[in-house]
Amino acid sequence: MGITELLLNQRVYASQVLQIIFYLLPRTILFSLPATCLLCVMLTFLRLSSDNEFIALNSSGISLYQILPPVIFFSAVIFFIASIMAIYVVPWGNRSYKGVIFKIIESKADVAVRERIFFEPFDDVIFYVNSFSTKERMMKDLFVVDRRDEPVTNTIVARKGKILSNPRTKIITIHFIQGTIFTVDKNYKTVRTIKFDTYDLNIDLKDIISSLVSRERHPREMFIRELVHNLKTTPRGTEKNYLMAVKLFEMFSIPMAIFIMGIIGAPLGAQVRSKGRSIGIIISLVIFLIYYVCLMSVRYISKMGTLHPAIGAWIPDLFLCIMCVYLLRRVANDRPFSFFERISFRK
């Protein structure tokens, strides 16, 4: 929805929107890989089960464990791809996405304008806009607090305003119409009031961009070396330290979960003996949903510091491992689930 708003309401170039989508794709692909890997293996074994191929294999003395090597190989390939994406591609995509946003801010400074909320498009400059016309690029009923000058704080109230940017000079000009400036010193001893018909507030875009670039990166934008280095330098017990630790361990736990889900698909597909594929898809999505809820819950608890990230990141994988071992042993011992038998009977 945010990308759609950029394209339709803020008149951002289609090429920039395509860049945003491209840089966000790695994160989306990594998110969908567990369900995709599980679904692929499960549908394959579901087809074998529905065609009674497993009965023929068992009659020939071939067990489920002897069929697993191709599944393990396929899951290992997906694990390798997911590891590369989690460690290198996703942080690169998040960084590049942020770079595109900076370019949009540079070329179209009013793209960050939001109605009836306080927002900070520039450092130490807080905005409140009652209404914003996307056609005229005009803001109405503005409230702006400028704290860039340490000795004083300037509060500007104006009926109308417009943000103008000059890419050549790297200067953003906020043009106010019919308003008042309230200037208060740091100690609140001196107050000045200035009324104006028009007033221009200039902001150097070079300083804005350089300050944004020099800011510490978000943990989702960091590679392994940066995460390890920042974990050593960041005080322990802080929320930022926990967040970086969660991101570091998830670079390995999420690909491992994809590998385990691929193996889980084999016994699940062998259990469902129905001829339809819909039940296999539903079961795969349910398992993925349980895993995702568990992942998000443990991630939140680890960020709060209640559970150590080194333990919390592997709890969803442990749940999948237990499920995988249990399903493999049950199917290998030819002990079908009554739930799947009822589904097959109804089919």
Dihedral angle computed from the Cα positions of residues 182, 188, 191 and 196, in that order, rounded to the nearest 10 degrees:
-10
If DSSP states are collapsed to H, E and C, what string results for 30-67?
Answer: HHHHHHHHHHHHHHHHHHHHHCCHHHHHHHCCCCHHHH
Banded model confidence at residue 180, pLDDT cuts 50, 70, 90: very high
Provide the whole-model pTM. Answer: 0.67
Average pLDDT, the chain: 80
Please give the pLDDT value at position 106: 60
DSSP 3-state helix, strand, coil percentages of the chain (rounded to 5)? 60, 20, 20
Residue 86: C-alpha distances to residues 155, 201, 247, 302, 321 (Å): 45, 43, 10, 19, 21
Domain ranges of the chain: 30-85+225-346, 113-214
Tally helices (H) and strands (E) across the chain: 12, 6
* DSSP assigned state of 64: H
Banded model confidence at residue 343, pLDDT cuts 50, 70, 90: very low
Residue 129 C-beta-side C-alpha neighbours within 13 Å:
24
Indicate the helix (H) or strand (E) that contains 250: helix 239-271
222 vs 329: CA distance, rounded Å: 40
Banded model confidence at residue 345, pLDDT cuts 50, 70, 90: very low
Q: Taking 80 as the threshold, does the pLDDT of residue 247 lie above it?
A: yes
Structure tokens at 180: 């008042």
Structure tokens at 187: 């100690």
186-244: pLDDT as tens digits: 777 788 899 999 999 887 655 555 544 445 577 888 899 988 888 888 888 787 888 88
Residues β-bridged to residue 195: 180
Pairing of strands 152-166, 171-185: antiparallel
26 vs 23: CA distance, rounded Å: 7
What number of other Cβ atoms are within 10 A of residue 49's Cβ? Answer: 23
Banded model confidence at residue 336, pLDDT cuts 50, 70, 90: low
Banded model confidence at residue 344, pLDDT cuts 50, 70, 90: very low
Please give the pLDDT value at position 123: 66
Please give the pLDDT value at position 304: 84
Angle at alpha carbon of residue 252, lines to 300 and 330, rounded to 5° = 90
